Structure 1
Amino acid sequence: KFSLVVRSMEGPWGTGSKQAVNLIFEEKVWALTGCHDGRNAHLVEQAATKSIVPYISAWSSDPTLSQAFVPWFFNCVPTDRQQAQSLISSIYDKHKFRKIAVISCKDYDSNMASSSFLKALKASGKPEPVLYPPAESVRDSEMLSDKVAGSDTECLVLFCNPEISKTIVSRLNQKKPGIQIYSSLMAADENKLNPGDMSVFNNTICVAAGEWNEKKGMEFRNEYLKMYNMLPGMVASFSFDATGLLIEAIRISGKNEREIIQKTVQKINYEGVTGMISFDDKGNRKGSFSVMRINEGVPFKPE
Protein backbone atom coordinates (compact mmCIF):
# COMPACT_ATOMS: atom_id res chain seq x y z
CA LYS A 1 0.00 0.00 0.00
CA PHE A 2 1.29 3.45 -0.99
CA SER A 3 0.52 6.83 0.54
CA LEU A 4 0.98 10.12 -1.32
CA VAL A 5 1.99 12.94 1.05
CA VAL A 6 1.35 16.37 -0.47
CA ARG A 7 2.95 19.71 0.36
CA SER A 8 2.38 23.08 -1.34
CA MET A 9 5.29 25.14 -2.69
CA GLU A 10 3.25 28.34 -2.48
CA GLY A 11 4.78 31.04 -0.32
CA PRO A 12 7.91 33.18 -0.02
CA TRP A 13 11.30 32.21 -1.43
CA GLY A 14 12.64 29.15 0.36
CA THR A 15 9.26 27.54 1.01
CA GLY A 16 10.06 24.76 -1.42
CA SER A 17 13.22 23.80 0.44
CA LYS A 18 11.45 23.79 3.80
CA GLN A 19 8.63 21.63 2.50
CA ALA A 20 11.06 19.16 0.94
CA VAL A 21 12.99 18.91 4.22
CA ASN A 22 9.71 18.34 6.08
CA LEU A 23 8.76 15.50 3.73
CA ILE A 24 12.19 13.89 4.05
CA PHE A 25 12.73 14.12 7.80
CA GLU A 26 9.25 14.40 9.30
CA GLU A 27 7.24 12.25 6.91
CA LYS A 28 10.24 10.03 6.06
CA VAL A 29 9.15 9.65 2.44
CA TRP A 30 10.89 7.09 0.21
CA ALA A 31 11.10 9.47 -2.78
CA LEU A 32 10.04 12.92 -3.99
CA THR A 33 8.22 14.13 -7.08
CA GLY A 34 6.52 17.39 -8.02
CA CYS A 35 5.50 19.77 -10.79
CA HIS A 36 7.78 22.63 -9.71
CA ASP A 37 9.05 25.60 -11.70
CA GLY A 38 12.79 25.84 -12.31
CA ARG A 39 13.76 27.74 -9.17
CA ASN A 40 11.74 25.54 -6.81
CA ALA A 41 12.97 22.41 -8.57
CA HIS A 42 16.54 23.47 -7.74
CA LEU A 43 15.60 23.85 -4.07
CA VAL A 44 14.01 20.41 -3.93
CA GLU A 45 16.98 18.89 -5.78
CA GLN A 46 19.39 20.35 -3.22
CA ALA A 47 17.37 18.96 -0.31
CA ALA A 48 17.07 15.55 -1.99
CA THR A 49 20.79 15.40 -2.74
CA LYS A 50 21.88 16.27 0.80
CA SER A 51 19.47 13.71 2.22
CA ILE A 52 20.03 11.03 -0.43
CA VAL A 53 16.41 10.76 -1.60
CA PRO A 54 15.36 10.01 -5.21
CA TYR A 55 13.66 13.02 -6.82
CA ILE A 56 11.70 12.91 -10.09
CA SER A 57 10.83 16.30 -11.56
CA ALA A 58 7.50 16.33 -13.40
CA TRP A 59 7.37 19.80 -14.97
CA SER A 60 10.53 21.93 -14.95
CA SER A 61 12.52 21.69 -18.18
CA ASP A 62 15.51 23.61 -16.78
CA PRO A 63 18.57 21.82 -18.23
CA THR A 64 20.87 23.01 -15.42
CA LEU A 65 19.07 20.70 -12.98
CA SER A 66 21.11 17.78 -14.32
CA GLN A 67 24.42 19.62 -14.65
CA ALA A 68 25.48 18.75 -11.09
CA PHE A 69 25.54 15.06 -12.15
CA VAL A 70 23.52 14.18 -9.04
CA PRO A 71 22.50 10.49 -9.24
CA TRP A 72 19.36 11.18 -7.18
CA PHE A 73 17.79 13.52 -9.76
CA PHE A 74 15.58 12.42 -12.67
CA ASN A 75 13.41 14.42 -15.07
CA CYS A 76 10.29 13.13 -16.83
CA VAL A 77 10.09 16.25 -19.02
CA PRO A 78 12.21 17.02 -22.11
CA THR A 79 14.74 19.67 -21.13
CA ASP A 80 14.90 23.07 -22.81
CA ARG A 81 17.93 21.86 -24.77
CA GLN A 82 16.14 18.75 -25.97
CA GLN A 83 13.10 20.81 -26.95
CA ALA A 84 15.35 23.32 -28.73
CA GLN A 85 16.92 20.63 -30.92
CA SER A 86 13.50 19.35 -32.01
CA LEU A 87 12.15 22.85 -32.67
CA ILE A 88 15.20 23.86 -34.71
CA SER A 89 14.96 20.69 -36.79
CA SER A 90 11.28 21.33 -37.54
CA ILE A 91 11.62 25.06 -38.23
CA TYR A 92 14.82 25.12 -40.27
CA ASP A 93 15.17 21.62 -41.75
CA LYS A 94 11.66 20.25 -42.19
CA HIS A 95 9.71 23.41 -43.05
CA LYS A 96 12.66 25.57 -44.14
CA PHE A 97 11.21 28.75 -42.66
CA ARG A 98 13.48 31.73 -43.20
CA LYS A 99 11.55 34.60 -41.68
CA ILE A 100 11.49 33.62 -38.02
CA ALA A 101 10.84 35.66 -34.88
CA VAL A 102 11.23 34.93 -31.17
CA ILE A 103 9.31 36.43 -28.24
CA SER A 104 10.21 35.59 -24.66
CA CYS A 105 9.50 36.85 -21.14
CA LYS A 106 11.90 37.92 -18.39
CA ASP A 107 11.04 35.30 -15.76
CA TYR A 108 13.56 32.56 -14.92
CA ASP A 109 11.96 29.69 -16.86
CA SER A 110 11.24 31.76 -19.97
CA ASN A 111 14.77 33.12 -20.03
CA MET A 112 16.27 29.65 -19.58
CA ALA A 113 14.17 28.24 -22.44
CA SER A 114 14.94 31.09 -24.86
CA SER A 115 18.66 31.03 -23.99
CA SER A 116 18.81 27.28 -24.62
CA PHE A 117 17.13 27.74 -28.01
CA LEU A 118 19.40 30.57 -29.11
CA LYS A 119 22.56 28.75 -27.97
CA ALA A 120 21.53 25.60 -29.83
CA LEU A 121 20.69 27.69 -32.89
CA LYS A 122 24.10 29.39 -32.85
CA ALA A 123 25.87 26.05 -32.46
CA SER A 124 23.97 24.68 -35.47
CA GLY A 125 25.08 27.55 -37.70
CA LYS A 126 21.48 28.38 -38.68
CA PRO A 127 20.46 32.00 -39.41
CA GLU A 128 19.50 34.02 -36.35
CA PRO A 129 15.81 34.91 -35.91
CA VAL A 130 14.40 38.36 -35.24
CA LEU A 131 14.42 38.89 -31.47
CA TYR A 132 11.61 41.02 -30.11
CA PRO A 133 11.90 42.76 -26.72
CA PRO A 134 10.73 40.62 -23.79
CA ALA A 135 7.03 40.77 -22.99
CA GLU A 136 6.55 41.91 -19.39
CA SER A 137 2.78 42.45 -19.41
CA VAL A 138 -0.38 41.64 -21.33
CA ARG A 139 -0.16 45.09 -22.89
CA ASP A 140 3.38 44.34 -24.07
CA SER A 141 2.22 41.07 -25.57
CA GLU A 142 -0.58 42.82 -27.46
CA MET A 143 1.83 45.37 -28.91
CA LEU A 144 4.35 42.71 -29.89
CA SER A 145 1.60 40.61 -31.48
CA ASP A 146 0.58 43.58 -33.61
CA LYS A 147 4.20 44.07 -34.72
CA VAL A 148 4.47 40.44 -35.74
CA ALA A 149 1.11 40.62 -37.53
CA GLY A 150 2.32 43.61 -39.54
CA SER A 151 5.59 41.97 -40.52
CA ASP A 152 6.56 39.29 -43.05
CA THR A 153 7.25 36.77 -40.27
CA GLU A 154 6.45 33.18 -41.33
CA CYS A 155 7.14 31.51 -38.02
CA LEU A 156 7.01 32.67 -34.40
CA VAL A 157 8.67 30.88 -31.47
CA LEU A 158 7.35 31.64 -27.98
CA PHE A 159 9.20 31.26 -24.69
CA CYS A 160 6.60 32.86 -22.47
CA ASN A 161 4.44 32.10 -19.46
CA PRO A 162 0.92 30.78 -20.15
CA GLU A 163 -0.89 34.12 -19.76
CA ILE A 164 1.41 35.99 -22.16
CA SER A 165 1.43 33.07 -24.60
CA LYS A 166 -2.35 32.90 -24.60
CA THR A 167 -2.63 36.63 -25.34
CA ILE A 168 -0.15 36.48 -28.24
CA VAL A 169 -1.66 33.36 -29.81
CA SER A 170 -5.22 34.68 -29.49
CA ARG A 171 -4.33 37.98 -31.13
CA LEU A 172 -2.37 36.37 -33.96
CA ASN A 173 -5.21 33.91 -34.59
CA GLN A 174 -7.25 36.95 -35.50
CA LYS A 175 -4.65 39.19 -37.17
CA LYS A 176 -2.26 36.72 -38.85
CA PRO A 177 -3.97 33.30 -38.94
CA GLY A 178 -1.48 31.77 -41.39
CA ILE A 179 1.56 32.12 -39.15
CA GLN A 180 3.15 28.97 -37.71
CA ILE A 181 3.61 29.20 -33.93
CA TYR A 182 5.98 27.07 -31.88
CA SER A 183 6.31 27.15 -28.11
CA SER A 184 8.14 25.63 -25.18
CA LEU A 185 6.04 23.29 -23.06
CA MET A 186 5.66 25.90 -20.30
CA ALA A 187 2.86 27.68 -22.18
CA ALA A 188 0.56 24.69 -21.75
CA ASP A 189 0.41 24.76 -17.93
CA GLU A 190 -3.24 24.05 -17.18
CA ASN A 191 -2.78 25.24 -13.61
CA LYS A 192 -2.27 28.79 -14.88
CA LEU A 193 -5.09 28.97 -17.46
CA ASN A 194 -8.72 27.89 -17.41
CA PRO A 195 -9.99 25.43 -20.07
CA GLY A 196 -11.48 28.26 -22.12
CA ASP A 197 -8.15 30.08 -22.29
CA MET A 198 -6.30 26.84 -23.03
CA SER A 199 -8.53 26.25 -26.06
CA VAL A 200 -6.77 29.16 -27.81
CA PHE A 201 -3.84 26.77 -28.35
CA ASN A 202 -5.97 24.06 -29.99
CA ASN A 203 -4.40 22.96 -33.28
CA THR A 204 -2.44 26.21 -33.31
CA ILE A 205 0.83 25.88 -31.40
CA CYS A 206 3.41 23.14 -31.81
CA VAL A 207 5.57 21.82 -28.98
CA ALA A 208 8.43 19.32 -28.71
CA ALA A 209 6.65 16.75 -26.55
CA GLY A 210 7.07 13.56 -28.58
CA GLU A 211 4.29 11.11 -29.41
CA TRP A 212 2.35 9.98 -26.36
CA ASN A 213 0.76 6.61 -25.68
CA GLU A 214 -2.71 6.92 -27.18
CA LYS A 215 -4.29 4.01 -25.30
CA LYS A 216 -2.88 4.92 -21.89
CA GLY A 217 -3.63 8.58 -22.55
CA MET A 218 -7.30 7.88 -23.28
CA GLU A 219 -7.67 5.73 -20.16
CA PHE A 220 -6.05 8.41 -18.02
CA ARG A 221 -8.15 11.20 -19.51
CA ASN A 222 -11.39 9.27 -18.96
CA GLU A 223 -10.58 8.50 -15.33
CA TYR A 224 -9.38 12.05 -14.67
CA LEU A 225 -12.56 13.47 -16.22
CA LYS A 226 -14.72 11.27 -14.01
CA MET A 227 -12.86 12.32 -10.88
CA TYR A 228 -12.32 16.04 -11.50
CA ASN A 229 -14.93 16.89 -14.16
CA MET A 230 -12.21 18.33 -16.41
CA LEU A 231 -9.60 16.99 -18.79
CA PRO A 232 -5.97 16.63 -17.68
CA GLY A 233 -3.32 18.80 -19.28
CA MET A 234 0.43 18.58 -19.64
CA VAL A 235 1.24 19.07 -15.96
CA ALA A 236 -1.23 16.42 -14.79
CA SER A 237 0.02 13.97 -17.41
CA PHE A 238 3.72 14.31 -16.55
CA SER A 239 2.89 14.21 -12.83
CA PHE A 240 0.82 11.06 -13.29
CA ASP A 241 3.71 9.39 -15.08
CA ALA A 242 6.30 10.48 -12.51
CA THR A 243 4.16 9.05 -9.71
CA GLY A 244 3.40 5.84 -11.58
CA LEU A 245 7.08 5.37 -12.41
CA LEU A 246 8.06 5.77 -8.76
CA ILE A 247 5.45 3.27 -7.62
CA GLU A 248 6.66 0.78 -10.22
CA ALA A 249 10.29 1.32 -9.17
CA ILE A 250 9.43 0.73 -5.51
CA ARG A 251 7.55 -2.46 -6.40
CA ILE A 252 10.49 -3.73 -8.44
CA SER A 253 12.91 -2.80 -5.64
CA GLY A 254 10.96 -4.85 -3.14
CA LYS A 255 12.24 -2.66 -0.32
CA ASN A 256 11.63 0.86 0.95
CA GLU A 257 15.35 1.68 0.93
CA ARG A 258 16.04 4.93 -0.89
CA GLU A 259 19.32 3.83 -2.47
CA ILE A 260 17.79 0.67 -3.94
CA ILE A 261 14.84 2.69 -5.28
CA GLN A 262 17.25 5.18 -6.86
CA LYS A 263 19.18 2.44 -8.65
CA THR A 264 15.92 0.93 -9.91
CA VAL A 265 14.72 4.27 -11.29
CA GLN A 266 18.09 4.68 -13.01
CA LYS A 267 17.56 1.47 -14.98
CA ILE A 268 13.79 1.54 -15.46
CA ASN A 269 11.91 1.49 -18.77
CA TYR A 270 8.41 2.68 -17.99
CA GLU A 271 5.56 3.00 -20.49
CA GLY A 272 3.51 6.00 -19.39
CA VAL A 273 0.87 8.34 -20.73
CA THR A 274 3.62 10.56 -22.14
CA GLY A 275 5.37 7.63 -23.83
CA MET A 276 8.32 5.43 -22.91
CA ILE A 277 10.37 6.85 -20.04
CA SER A 278 13.98 5.99 -19.29
CA PHE A 279 16.90 8.11 -18.15
CA ASP A 280 20.47 8.81 -19.23
CA ASP A 281 23.41 8.96 -16.83
CA LYS A 282 22.54 12.56 -15.91
CA GLY A 283 18.91 11.80 -15.08
CA ASN A 284 17.53 13.40 -18.24
CA ARG A 285 14.74 11.63 -20.08
CA LYS A 286 15.90 9.78 -23.18
CA GLY A 287 14.20 10.41 -26.51
CA SER A 288 14.04 12.58 -29.61
CA PHE A 289 10.72 14.36 -28.75
CA SER A 290 9.08 15.02 -32.08
CA VAL A 291 7.10 18.21 -32.57
CA MET A 292 3.36 17.85 -32.00
CA ARG A 293 0.28 20.04 -32.30
CA ILE A 294 -1.69 20.68 -29.11
CA ASN A 295 -5.38 20.00 -28.66
CA GLU A 296 -7.30 20.14 -25.36
CA GLY A 297 -4.06 20.86 -23.54
CA VAL A 298 -2.00 17.87 -24.72
CA PRO A 299 -0.19 16.68 -27.88
CA PHE A 300 -2.63 15.02 -30.26
CA LYS A 301 -0.98 14.68 -33.68
CA PRO A 302 2.37 15.32 -35.38
CA GLU A 303 2.73 18.77 -36.90
Structure 2
Amino acid sequence: GSVTSAPPIWYHQFLCDLSKYFVAILRAKGTLRPPERQALFGPWELIYGASQELLPYLEGGRWGQGLEGFCNHLELYTQFAANVERSRTILQEQLKKNKHFRRFVRLQEGRPEFGGLQLQDLLPLPLQRLQQYENLAVALAENTGPNSPEHKQLTRAAQLISETAQRVHTIGQKQKNEQHLQRIQALLSGRQAKGLISGRWFLRQGWLLVVPPRGEPRPRMFFLFSDALLMAKPRPPLHLLQSGTFACRALYPMGECQLHRVFGHSGGPCGGLLSLSFPHEKLLLMSTDQEELSHWYHSLTLAISSQKN
Protein backbone atom coordinates (compact mmCIF):
# COMPACT_ATOMS: atom_id res chain seq x y z
CA GLY A 1 0.00 0.00 0.00
CA SER A 2 2.07 2.90 1.32
CA VAL A 3 5.17 2.06 -0.70
CA THR A 4 3.55 2.62 -4.04
CA SER A 5 1.24 5.42 -3.00
CA ALA A 6 3.35 8.46 -3.84
CA PRO A 7 5.19 8.63 -7.16
CA PRO A 8 8.29 10.81 -6.74
CA ILE A 9 6.72 13.83 -8.43
CA TRP A 10 8.20 16.41 -6.04
CA TYR A 11 11.70 15.03 -6.51
CA HIS A 12 11.30 14.96 -10.26
CA GLN A 13 10.11 18.56 -10.09
CA PHE A 14 13.22 19.53 -8.12
CA LEU A 15 15.45 17.90 -10.74
CA CYS A 16 13.54 19.76 -13.42
CA ASP A 17 13.61 23.14 -11.65
CA LEU A 18 17.30 22.95 -10.83
CA SER A 19 18.08 22.01 -14.44
CA LYS A 20 15.94 24.88 -15.69
CA TYR A 21 16.77 27.67 -13.24
CA PHE A 22 20.41 26.86 -12.55
CA VAL A 23 22.09 24.65 -15.15
CA ALA A 24 20.39 25.94 -18.30
CA ILE A 25 20.60 29.63 -17.39
CA LEU A 26 24.22 29.34 -16.29
CA ARG A 27 25.00 27.66 -19.59
CA ALA A 28 23.24 30.41 -21.54
CA LYS A 29 24.72 33.30 -19.55
CA GLY A 30 28.23 31.91 -19.32
CA THR A 31 28.54 33.06 -15.68
CA LEU A 32 30.67 29.97 -15.03
CA ARG A 33 33.25 28.52 -17.39
CA PRO A 34 32.11 25.12 -18.80
CA PRO A 35 34.63 23.04 -16.76
CA GLU A 36 33.43 24.68 -13.54
CA ARG A 37 29.78 24.30 -14.45
CA GLN A 38 30.30 20.61 -15.26
CA ALA A 39 32.20 20.03 -12.03
CA LEU A 40 29.49 21.79 -10.03
CA PHE A 41 26.50 19.85 -11.36
CA GLY A 42 28.13 16.59 -12.46
CA PRO A 43 25.70 14.39 -14.44
CA TRP A 44 22.67 16.24 -12.99
CA GLU A 45 20.88 16.68 -16.32
CA LEU A 46 21.39 13.03 -17.27
CA ILE A 47 19.93 11.98 -13.90
CA TYR A 48 17.00 14.28 -14.62
CA GLY A 49 16.61 12.53 -18.00
CA ALA A 50 16.59 9.11 -16.31
CA SER A 51 13.95 10.30 -13.85
CA GLN A 52 11.87 11.70 -16.70
CA GLU A 53 11.97 8.31 -18.41
CA LEU A 54 10.95 6.47 -15.23
CA LEU A 55 8.09 8.73 -14.17
CA PRO A 56 5.37 7.60 -16.64
CA TYR A 57 6.01 3.96 -15.68
CA LEU A 58 5.64 4.71 -11.99
CA GLU A 59 2.53 6.79 -12.57
CA GLY A 60 1.04 3.99 -14.67
CA GLY A 61 1.91 1.33 -12.10
CA ARG A 62 4.27 -0.47 -14.50
CA TRP A 63 6.93 -0.78 -11.80
CA GLY A 64 8.90 -3.73 -13.15
CA GLN A 65 9.38 -2.36 -16.63
CA GLY A 66 10.13 1.14 -15.35
CA LEU A 67 12.73 0.10 -12.80
CA GLU A 68 14.34 -2.32 -15.24
CA GLY A 69 14.90 0.54 -17.68
CA PHE A 70 16.05 2.81 -14.86
CA CYS A 71 18.82 0.34 -14.00
CA ASN A 72 20.57 1.23 -17.26
CA HIS A 73 21.27 4.66 -15.76
CA LEU A 74 22.63 3.59 -12.36
CA GLU A 75 26.23 4.36 -13.32
CA LEU A 76 25.23 8.05 -13.31
CA TYR A 77 24.67 7.87 -9.55
CA THR A 78 28.13 6.43 -8.95
CA GLN A 79 29.64 9.22 -11.08
CA PHE A 80 27.55 11.78 -9.23
CA ALA A 81 28.73 10.46 -5.85
CA ALA A 82 32.37 10.49 -6.94
CA ASN A 83 31.98 14.15 -7.92
CA VAL A 84 30.30 15.36 -4.68
CA GLU A 85 33.49 16.58 -3.01
CA ARG A 86 34.69 18.44 -6.08
CA SER A 87 31.25 19.95 -6.59
CA ARG A 88 31.18 21.25 -3.01
CA THR A 89 34.64 22.78 -3.38
CA ILE A 90 33.77 24.49 -6.67
CA LEU A 91 30.55 25.88 -5.17
CA GLN A 92 32.39 27.38 -2.18
CA GLU A 93 35.19 28.78 -4.33
CA GLN A 94 32.87 30.36 -6.87
CA LEU A 95 30.52 31.83 -4.25
CA LYS A 96 33.56 33.42 -2.66
CA LYS A 97 35.33 34.88 -5.68
CA ASN A 98 32.72 35.26 -8.44
CA LYS A 99 30.27 37.98 -7.49
CA HIS A 100 28.06 37.53 -10.58
CA PHE A 101 27.67 33.86 -9.73
CA ARG A 102 27.01 34.66 -6.07
CA ARG A 103 24.28 37.14 -6.98
CA PHE A 104 22.75 34.70 -9.47
CA VAL A 105 22.69 31.83 -6.95
CA ARG A 106 21.09 33.94 -4.20
CA LEU A 107 18.48 35.18 -6.65
CA GLN A 108 17.56 31.68 -7.85
CA GLU A 109 17.56 30.24 -4.33
CA GLY A 110 14.87 32.77 -3.50
CA ARG A 111 12.46 31.23 -6.02
CA PRO A 112 9.39 29.66 -4.38
CA GLU A 113 10.10 26.36 -6.21
CA PHE A 114 13.08 25.70 -3.94
CA GLY A 115 11.21 26.17 -0.68
CA GLY A 116 13.96 28.15 1.02
CA LEU A 117 16.63 25.51 0.35
CA GLN A 118 20.08 26.62 -0.73
CA LEU A 119 21.92 25.22 -3.74
CA GLN A 120 24.24 23.26 -1.43
CA ASP A 121 21.17 21.53 0.09
CA LEU A 122 19.68 20.77 -3.32
CA LEU A 123 22.78 19.27 -4.90
CA PRO A 124 22.92 16.01 -2.84
CA LEU A 125 19.23 15.20 -3.55
CA PRO A 126 19.83 12.51 -6.20
CA LEU A 127 21.89 10.44 -3.75
CA GLN A 128 19.20 10.66 -1.07
CA ARG A 129 16.68 9.70 -3.71
CA LEU A 130 18.69 6.63 -4.72
CA GLN A 131 18.18 5.33 -1.20
CA GLN A 132 14.41 5.72 -1.65
CA TYR A 133 14.52 3.96 -5.02
CA GLU A 134 16.31 1.09 -3.30
CA ASN A 135 13.66 0.88 -0.56
CA LEU A 136 10.93 1.02 -3.20
CA ALA A 137 12.45 -1.69 -5.41
CA VAL A 138 13.16 -4.01 -2.46
CA ALA A 139 9.64 -3.59 -1.04
CA LEU A 140 8.05 -4.16 -4.45
CA ALA A 141 10.16 -7.26 -5.08
CA GLU A 142 9.21 -8.68 -1.68
CA ASN A 143 5.52 -7.99 -2.23
CA THR A 144 5.31 -9.46 -5.73
CA GLY A 145 4.53 -13.17 -5.97
CA PRO A 146 7.01 -15.38 -7.86
CA ASN A 147 4.33 -16.15 -10.46
CA SER A 148 3.84 -12.50 -11.35
CA PRO A 149 5.38 -11.50 -14.70
CA GLU A 150 7.08 -8.55 -12.95
CA HIS A 151 8.73 -10.62 -10.22
CA LYS A 152 11.95 -11.26 -12.13
CA GLN A 153 12.29 -7.62 -13.26
CA LEU A 154 11.71 -6.29 -9.76
CA THR A 155 14.07 -8.74 -8.05
CA ARG A 156 16.82 -7.90 -10.53
CA ALA A 157 16.19 -4.15 -10.20
CA ALA A 158 16.24 -4.36 -6.40
CA GLN A 159 19.58 -6.16 -6.53
CA LEU A 160 21.19 -3.72 -8.98
CA ILE A 161 19.93 -0.62 -7.18
CA SER A 162 21.11 -2.02 -3.82
CA GLU A 163 24.57 -2.69 -5.24
CA THR A 164 24.76 0.86 -6.58
CA ALA A 165 23.56 2.34 -3.28
CA GLN A 166 26.30 0.35 -1.53
CA ARG A 167 28.93 1.68 -3.96
CA VAL A 168 27.68 5.22 -3.42
CA HIS A 169 27.86 4.71 0.37
CA THR A 170 31.46 3.45 0.09
CA ILE A 171 32.45 6.47 -2.01
CA GLY A 172 30.92 8.75 0.65
CA GLN A 173 32.84 6.96 3.44
CA LYS A 174 36.11 7.34 1.55
CA GLN A 175 35.49 11.04 1.00
CA LYS A 176 34.75 11.53 4.72
CA ASN A 177 37.91 9.67 5.64
CA GLU A 178 39.92 11.84 3.25
CA GLN A 179 38.53 14.96 4.98
CA HIS A 180 39.56 13.57 8.37
CA LEU A 181 43.08 12.88 7.10
CA GLN A 182 43.41 16.40 5.71
CA ARG A 183 42.18 17.86 8.99
CA ILE A 184 44.64 15.75 11.02
CA GLN A 185 47.40 16.63 8.57
CA ALA A 186 46.81 20.29 9.40
CA LEU A 187 47.01 19.55 13.14
CA LEU A 188 50.29 17.66 12.94
CA SER A 189 53.34 19.77 12.37
CA GLY A 190 56.61 18.36 11.19
CA ARG A 191 57.83 17.06 7.89
CA GLN A 192 57.16 13.39 8.51
CA ALA A 193 53.50 13.94 9.48
CA LYS A 194 52.17 13.56 5.94
CA GLY A 195 53.79 10.18 5.42
CA LEU A 196 52.48 9.00 8.77
CA ILE A 197 48.81 9.29 7.98
CA SER A 198 48.24 9.23 4.21
CA GLY A 199 46.32 6.18 3.06
CA ARG A 200 45.15 5.28 6.57
CA TRP A 201 41.57 4.74 7.75
CA PHE A 202 40.61 7.11 10.58
CA LEU A 203 38.58 5.83 13.54
CA ARG A 204 38.80 8.20 16.51
CA GLN A 205 40.74 11.00 18.14
CA GLY A 206 40.83 12.62 21.56
CA TRP A 207 42.76 13.49 24.70
CA LEU A 208 43.84 10.71 27.03
CA LEU A 209 46.12 10.75 30.05
CA VAL A 210 49.27 8.67 29.75
CA VAL A 211 50.15 7.17 33.14
CA PRO A 212 53.95 6.84 33.48
CA PRO A 213 55.62 4.28 35.80
CA ARG A 214 56.49 7.22 38.06
CA GLY A 215 55.17 10.76 38.27
CA GLU A 216 52.01 12.51 37.13
CA PRO A 217 49.77 11.41 34.22
CA ARG A 218 50.40 13.52 31.12
CA PRO A 219 47.70 14.57 28.64
CA ARG A 220 48.37 13.50 25.06
CA MET A 221 46.32 13.72 21.89
CA PHE A 222 45.69 10.33 20.29
CA PHE A 223 44.67 9.62 16.71
CA LEU A 224 43.47 6.07 16.11
CA PHE A 225 43.55 4.57 12.63
CA SER A 226 42.53 1.04 11.71
CA ASP A 227 46.17 -0.06 11.66
CA ALA A 228 47.98 2.35 13.98
CA LEU A 229 47.66 4.55 17.05
CA LEU A 230 49.41 7.89 16.84
CA MET A 231 50.35 9.72 20.02
CA ALA A 232 50.98 13.45 19.74
CA LYS A 233 52.03 16.20 22.10
CA PRO A 234 50.71 19.77 21.88
CA ARG A 235 53.23 22.34 20.69
CA PRO A 236 53.85 25.08 23.24
CA PRO A 237 51.44 28.01 22.71
CA LEU A 238 54.41 30.38 22.40
CA HIS A 239 55.62 28.52 19.34
CA LEU A 240 54.49 31.21 16.89
CA LEU A 241 54.49 29.27 13.65
CA GLN A 242 53.03 26.07 15.01
CA SER A 243 50.74 27.19 17.79
CA GLY A 244 47.69 24.95 18.05
CA THR A 245 49.43 22.05 16.35
CA PHE A 246 50.78 18.76 17.65
CA ALA A 247 54.11 17.00 17.33
CA CYS A 248 53.98 13.28 16.69
CA ARG A 249 55.59 11.38 19.58
CA ALA A 250 54.98 7.75 18.65
CA LEU A 251 53.17 5.50 16.20
CA TYR A 252 52.04 2.13 17.53
CA PRO A 253 51.08 -0.75 15.20
CA MET A 254 47.62 -2.07 16.12
CA GLY A 255 48.39 -5.51 14.70
CA GLU A 256 50.86 -6.04 17.57
CA CYS A 257 48.68 -4.59 20.31
CA GLN A 258 47.27 -6.47 23.27
CA LEU A 259 44.52 -4.52 24.97
CA HIS A 260 43.27 -4.98 28.53
CA ARG A 261 40.98 -3.08 30.80
CA VAL A 262 42.49 -2.51 34.23
CA PHE A 263 39.74 -1.92 36.76
CA GLY A 264 39.88 -0.57 40.26
CA HIS A 265 42.94 1.58 39.65
CA SER A 266 42.97 3.75 42.74
CA GLY A 267 45.03 6.58 41.30
CA GLY A 268 42.38 8.00 39.01
CA PRO A 269 38.85 9.29 39.49
CA CYS A 270 37.59 7.14 36.62
CA GLY A 271 38.19 3.81 38.31
CA GLY A 272 39.62 2.28 35.18
CA LEU A 273 42.59 2.22 32.85
CA LEU A 274 43.36 0.83 29.45
CA SER A 275 46.54 -1.15 29.16
CA LEU A 276 48.05 -1.44 25.67
CA SER A 277 50.99 -3.81 25.34
CA PHE A 278 53.26 -3.71 22.30
CA PRO A 279 56.38 -5.87 21.80
CA HIS A 280 58.73 -3.15 23.10
CA GLU A 281 56.49 -0.90 25.14
CA LYS A 282 53.48 -0.75 27.38
CA LEU A 283 51.04 2.16 27.51
CA LEU A 284 48.66 2.87 30.37
CA LEU A 285 45.89 5.22 29.33
CA MET A 286 43.40 6.91 31.57
CA SER A 287 40.45 9.25 31.11
CA THR A 288 38.48 11.17 33.70
CA ASP A 289 35.40 10.37 31.61
CA GLN A 290 34.33 6.74 32.03
CA GLU A 291 32.12 6.80 28.93
CA GLU A 292 34.92 8.22 26.81
CA LEU A 293 37.19 5.41 27.98
CA SER A 294 34.56 2.84 26.97
CA HIS A 295 34.37 4.38 23.49
CA TRP A 296 38.14 4.16 23.21
CA TYR A 297 38.11 0.55 24.35
CA HIS A 298 35.52 -0.26 21.70
CA SER A 299 37.42 1.55 18.91
CA LEU A 300 40.77 0.01 19.87
CA THR A 301 39.17 -3.45 19.91
CA LEU A 302 37.77 -2.78 16.45
CA ALA A 303 41.17 -1.69 15.12
CA ILE A 304 42.94 -4.73 16.59
CA SER A 305 40.41 -7.18 15.18
CA SER A 306 40.58 -5.50 11.75
CA GLN A 307 44.33 -6.22 11.70
CA LYS A 308 43.90 -9.85 12.70
CA ASN A 309 41.73 -10.67 9.68
Q: TM-score, normalised by structure 1?
A: 0.23
Structure with a larger share of its residues in helix: 2
Considering only CA atoms, is the larger Rg found in Structure 1 or Structure 2?
A: 2
By relative contact order (CA 8 Å, sep 6+), the higher-ranking structure is 1
TM-score norm. by structure 2 comes to: 0.23
